[in-house]
Amino acid sequence: MKFAGRYFSLHAAIVWFVCIVMILAFTVTGFLISKEVAERTRKDVAEKTLNVARMVGHSPIVINGLQYKSQEDELQKFAERIRKLTDVRFVVVMNMEGIRKTHPDPWKVGKHFVGGDEERALEGEEYTSIAEGTLGASLRAFEPIYNHNNVQVGAVSVGVLLNKVNRAVNRSKQIIYVGVGLGVVVGIIGALFLANRVKKVLFGLEPYEIAGIMQERNAMIESVREGILAINQNREIIIANAEATRMFEKAGIQGNPVGMTIEEYMPFSRLVNVLENGKGEFDQERNIEEVTFVVNRVPVKVDGQIVGAIATFRDRTELKHLAEQLTGVKLYAEALRVRSHEFMNKLHVILGMVYIGEYEKLTSYIHQITENQKMEFDSISRFVKDPVLAGFLLSKMSYAREQGVNLTVQGETVLPKPNNPEIMDGVITVVGNLIDNSIEAVQDFNNKNIDVVIDYDGEFLLFDVVDNKGGIPVEIRKKIFKKGFSTKGNNRGYGLFLVRKTVQSMDGDVELFTNDEYTMFSVELPYDCKEESA
């Protein structure tokens, strides 16, 4: 059996542990207290008995009764009255020979005191003792009696039977035992409550399950490609995965940050702002030395209370490269889909003509298709020498026809192949998004014409995308390049944002020209062409 392990639940472990500790603690405490209380009870009884003896020994009635024969009769009455008032078993007054002058049993008056423990009192000593007398074993207090001339004339013994003393001690112990029992019961109830509370806080998980979750969490945090940095309420860094450390080292920040405050490790971090105001910050760019990170920062809340903040980040260069690849693939796929759809439509027409035997019209139709395809291909390939861009523009022309839009591509100078083929990803991203934006813009207009003009001056690639939609309102002209801004609904507004970001990353420029008749986006990009062999 494992304690608080797989074979012994946390709930049972807490209950058993608390119960055992409390039973042991109460048992030891009860034993020590009961022993102390018993001793204290005996001392209290002895002190009470001795006080009664002192009171009797200093009474003038007792002193005179021992000195004068005429007053002896008053002794018995006084002693009995004191015995009943103080609830003791006997009050015995004796003379210097040990002869009783008082006794609860009048027949024993005049006889010698029994017990053998009275000698010290007759010698002038005050004390208590335990002895066997005519009434049984008792706790006795002795007090010498002196006359007005300070001459001892006798002694008094006040006694309480031992069984009464023991009953008083046992009553005290019983109270302690009841208290111990109630404490154990309350402890068991508290243990059950504590166990249930701990179980609830831990969502019903056992320790080995929590350990497994922690190991899995750490493994996941360390395996992700994003850097992860988290702080607690005290601004101390509690999580920094390996990727975060690697990227910080790349930016010139060395060392393991866990345990340090965020101000010590990274004074310029905005995690403190997120921790204080509770507002997330998303897709923020942050420059550290020569490295640019794209950072998301969010507060960590538990039961509505902010308990920390966490930041996830990636190297902007890596994200940019990935985004360009994904955008290019998407545009290529869309172009292929349009060409495939258009080609299938033409195949259906050809198949239909074959079925009805219209071979002459079929021949004419095929000549017309090939002529149109050849004219489009010749018109594009005449000034666009890069096959990727040429094929992309042809697919966009097919897509525009599919949308009922007349797309014209023109070029005044020859655009040679680029020296670095990767630049074409950015060119296609910019051209594709501008054409798509224009096609969507003219859908609700009768004049659905779009002109794309491409030019190359030997250093820069210049192209304009012009549509006849009409002017863009002044109030939104400065907003159209912002991320997420769109007049067409939610989850839109990324095309022109991506255009601007791509153009800026290529050290180019994009401008908007608009009036009541047309809208034109003009783009200028550095373009290093490949030298053609002679």
Give the CATH number for residue 289: 3.30.450.20
Which of 485, 448, 489 lies closest to 469 in space, CA to CA?
448
Give residue 378's pLDDT: 58
Q: Is the pLDDT of residue 236 over 60?
A: yes
| Chain centre to alpha carbon of residue 113 | 83
Instruction: Flag whether 347 is in a domain.
Output: no
CA torsion through residues 85, 88, 93, 96, sign: negative
- E-strand stretches of 320-398: none
Q: Cα 99 to the chain's mean position, in Å?
A: 87
Report the alpha-carbon distance of residue 438 to residue 451 in Å, rounded: 10
Q: What's residue 144's pLDDT?
A: 92
Number of domains in the chain: 3
Do residues 278 and 298 make contact, with C-beta atoms less than 8 angstroms apart?
no
Most confident of 9-13, 30-34, 233-237, 330-334: 233-237
Q: What is the pLDDT of residues 418-432, one digit of tens each?
A: 887 778 878 888 888
Q: What is the pLDDT of residues 492-523, one digit of tens each?
A: 556 777 888 888 888 889 888 888 778 888 98
Residue 334 maps to a domain: no
Single residue among 199, 223, 247 that ends a domain in this structure:
223
| 163 lies in the same domain as 70 | yes
**pLDDT tens figures, 132-188:** 766 667 788 899 999 888 888 899 988 887 776 667 667 766 776 777 777 777 777
Q: Which structural domain range is residue 282 located in?
A: 226-314
Q: How far is CA 221 from CA 229, 241, 260, 321, 382, in A?
A: 10, 6, 19, 24, 54
Asked if residue 293 and residue 365 are part of one domain, the reply reads: no
Q: Which pLDDT value is given to residue 3?
A: 45
Cα 226 off chain centre by = 21
Average pLDDT over residues 55-74: 84
Indicate whether 351 belongs to any domain: no
Q: Is residue 326 a part of any domain in this protein?
A: no
pLDDT value at 534 more than 50: no
pLDDT, residue 533, reads: 41
Exposure string of 371-394, with b = 16+ CB inside 10 Å and e = fewer, is: eeeeeeeebbeebbbbebbbbbbb
Is the Cα dihedral 148, 150, 154, 158 positive or negative? positive
Share of the chain above pLDDT 90, in %: 1
> 335: part of which helix (H) or strand (E)?
helix 316-356
For 206-231, the pLDDT digits (tens) are 766 767 777 777 777 766 778 888 88
| 382 SS3 class | coil
Per-residue DSSP letter, 108: G
Lowest model confidence (mean pLDDT) among 19-23, 310-314, 463-467? 19-23
| pLDDT (0 to 100) of residue 335 | 56
d(CA 490, CA 483): 12
Q: Are residues 175 and 37 in the same domain?
A: yes
- 64 in the same domain as 104: yes
* Rg (the chain; Cα; Å): 54
Residue 62 has pLDDT above 50, yes or no: yes
Residues 6+ apart with CB under 8 A from 190: 18
Domain boundary among 205, 223, 241: 223
Could you give the count of Cα atoms lying within 13 Å of 134 in the half-sphere of its Cβ? Answer: 15
Is 449 among the domain residues?
yes
Distance CA 81, CA 84 (A): 5
Tallying the residues shown for the chain, one arrives at 534
- Angle in degrees, 0-180, between the axes of helices 10-57 and 73-86, rounded to the nearest 10: 160
Q: Taking the mean position of all CA atoms in its chain, how far away is CA 281? A: 20
Q: Which helix (H) or strand (E) segment is 522 a member of?
A: strand 519-526
Distance, in Å, from the CA atom of 151 to the CA atom of 15, rounded to the nearest integer, reads: 71
Helices (H), 202-258: 207-223, 242-250
For every residue of 393-450, DSSP letters joined together read HHHHHHHHHHTT-EEEEEESS-BPPBSSTTHHHHHHHHHHHHHHHHHHHTTTSS--EE
CB atoms within 10 A of CB 235: 18
- Do 242 and 278 belong together in one domain? yes
Which long-range contacts does 192-199 make (Cβ < 8 Å, 24+ apart)?
192/15, 194/14, 194/18, 195/10, 195/11, 195/12, 195/14, 195/15, 195/18, 196/11, 198/10, 198/11, 198/14, 199/10, 199/11
Instruction: Report the pLDDT value the prediction gives residue 34, as an integer from 0 to 100.
Output: 67
**Residue whose entry in the numeric block shows the structure tokens 């207090």:** 141
Question: How does pLDDT run across 251-281, given as a tens digit for each residue?
Answer: 777 777 888 888 888 777 788 888 888 888 8
Residues 117 and 248 occupy one common structural domain = no
3-state secondary structure of 287: strand
Higher pLDDT, 4 or 410: 410
Assigned token pair, 145: 């009696």
Kindly report the average pLDDT of the chain as a whole number. 77
- What letter does residue 97 receive in the DSSP assignment? T
* Euclidean distance between CA atoms 339 and 393, whole angstroms: 11
Question: How are strands ordered across the β-sheet holding 291-302?
Answer: 237-240, 227-232, 305-315, 291-302, 281-288
Six-digit token pair at 458?
A: 């030997």
* Separation CA 50–CA 37 (nearest Å): 19
pLDDT of residue 376 exceeding 70:
no
181 plus 79 within the same structural domain: yes
Q: Do the domain assignments include residue 325? A: no
Instruction: State the first-to-last Cα distance of the chain, in angstroms, to the nearest integer.
Output: 87
In terms of phi and psi (left: phi > 0; alpha: psi -120 to 50; beta: otherwise), the region of 472 is beta
Which H or E element spans position 355? helix 316-356
Identify the CA nearest to 312 among candidates 247, 267, 265, 259: 247
- The answer to whether residues 71 and 159 belong to one domain is yes
Are residue 363 and residue 457 in the same domain, yes or no? Answer: yes
* Residue pLDDT, tens place only, 110-137: 888 887 888 888 888 898 887 776 666 7
Question: Has residue 343 been placed in a domain?
Answer: no
| CATH code of 494's domain | 3.30.565.10
Classify the phi-psi angles of 209: left when phi > 0, otherwise alpha if psi is within -120 to 50, otherwise beta. alpha
At which residue do the structure tokens 């008995």 appear?
A: 49
C-alpha span between 19 and 192 (Å, rounded): 9
Q: Is position 69 within any domain? A: yes
Give the whole-angstrom CA distance, residue 433 versus residue 294. Answer: 23
The three-class DSSP label of residue 310 is: strand
pLDDT at 55 over 50: yes
Distance CA 65, CA 481 (A): 123
When pLDDT is averaged across residues 328-344 and rounded to a whole number, the result is 58
Mean pLDDT of 81-97: 86
Note whether 209 and 243 are same-domain residues: no
Note the pLDDT of residue 87. 81
Q: What is the pLDDT of residue 491?
A: 45
Per-residue pLDDT band for 382 (boundaries 50, 70, 90) equals confident
Tell me which of 240 and 353 has the higher pLDDT.
240
Among residues 223, 247, 264, the one where a domain terminates is: 223
Same domain, 208 and 263: no
**Are residues 371 and 417 part of one domain?**
yes
